[in-house]
Structure 1
Amino acid sequence: MPTVTDSELKEIKDLMTSGFKEINSEITGIKIGIEKLSGQITTLDERVSGLDKRLDILEGWVNGLTGCDL
């Protein structure tokens, strides 16, 4: 039965540690990306809400001028 030397075990451990660090770094990058997207979505939602309010005001103004409901 083959045996594993201490240096081979250390090499495996180092590779696993390196791999886990890389995975953790990728996860951190994804989390940062999600936070940025969330902020952008919030900003867009606020802008759309503002435009919707302006549209309601404009619609009321046009209805008042024309006497018709749009």
Structure 2
Amino acid sequence: MRPKGSPEVLEWRRKRAIELLEAGKNPSEVAEFLGVDRNTVYRWRRKYRRGGLEDLAAKPIPGRPPRLSPE
């Protein structure tokens, strides 16, 4: 299932999880606070340890941009 929210909101959630982990919260507490699965928090922590905050940044959405105007 695809996560809900804009890329910026999802990025904020990942970075907030790391802040909470570094403040001493355990992954289960962080998961409950952010409303995600505990395994998701573990995955974010692995990505952070591997590549830092850059690995948690929102990625551009691939594909062709929409042709319809927002009108």
TM score, norm. by length of structure 2: 0.28
Give TM-score scaled by structure 1 length.
Answer: 0.29
Q: Which has the higher helix share?
A: 1
Greater relative contact order, per chain length (Cα 8 Å cut-off, separation 6+) = 2
Look at both structures and tell me which one has the larger radius of gyration over its CA atoms.
1
